[in-house]
Amino acid sequence: MYEEYEVHGPHDHAVEHAAAGHGGHGESDPFPGRMAVMTAILASIGAIFAYQSGNSENQALYYKNEAAIRKTEAANQWAYYQAKGEKQNLAELGAQLSALAPNSDAAQKRFAADADRYRQQKEPIRAKAEALEKIVEQDDALSEQVLHGHHRWAQATTLIQISIALTAITLLTRRRWLLNTSVGVAIVGVGLGALAFFGG
C-alpha cells in the first residue's frame, strides 16, 4: 500500500509546537501566534517574489533568444547583400570588357542593365539587414533590463527566506533583538522587491 510522507523544515516544527501552546509560557501567550502569522505573511511574500523571479528570468531568456534569431536573419541578409554586390561588380566588369570588343553594343547594354538591376536590388536588402540589427539591439537591451529585475527579485526572495528562518529561531529563543533583525531583513527584502517591481 502506498503512503505519502510529508517532510517539514525545522522552522515548521517550531512554529507548530509553539502555536500549539507548548512554548513553556502558558496558553494565553500571544507571542507564538504572532510569530506564526508573521511566518505565514513572509512565506506568502516570498512565494510571490520567487514567482516574479522565475517569470523575469524566462522573459530575459525569451528576449535573448529573439535577439539571437534576428542576428542570424541579419547575417543572412548581409550575405545576400554581398552576393548582389558581387553580381553587380561582375556585371560592371562585363560591361567594361565588352566595350573593348568590336560590335558589342548589345552585350554592353545587357551588362549595364544587369549592374543597374543588382544595384537597385541591394538597397532593400541593406535596409532590411539594418532594421534587423536595430531589433537585435532592442531585444538585447530588454533582456539585460529584465535580467537586472530578475536579480532583484532573487535577492528579495533570499532575504525573505532568511527572515523566515530568523522568525523561527526567534520563536524558539524569544530574543527581542532577533525579532528586530528578522523584521529588518524582511523590510530590506520587501524594499528590493519594490525596486524590482518598479524597474529600479
Q: Which tens digits make up the pLDDT trace of 107-163?
A: 888 888 999 999 999 999 999 999 999 999 999 999 999 999 999 999 999 999 999
What pLDDT score was predicted for residue 26? Answer: 47
The full set of domain ranges for the chain reads 30-197
What pLDDT score was predicted for residue 109? Answer: 86
- Closest by CA to 159, choosing from 78, 48, 42, is 42
What pLDDT score was predicted for residue 98? Answer: 81
pLDDT in tens, 155-196: 999 999 999 999 999 989 888 999 999 999 999 999 999 999
| Reported pTM | 0.69
Model confidence at 1, pLDDT cuts 50, 70, 90, reads very low
Give the torsion sign (CA, 49, 52, 54, 57).
negative
What pLDDT score was predicted for residue 104? Answer: 73
CATH of domain 30-197: 1.10.287
Contact 181, 168 (CB under 8 A): no
Gap between the Cα atoms of 117 and 115, Å rounded: 5
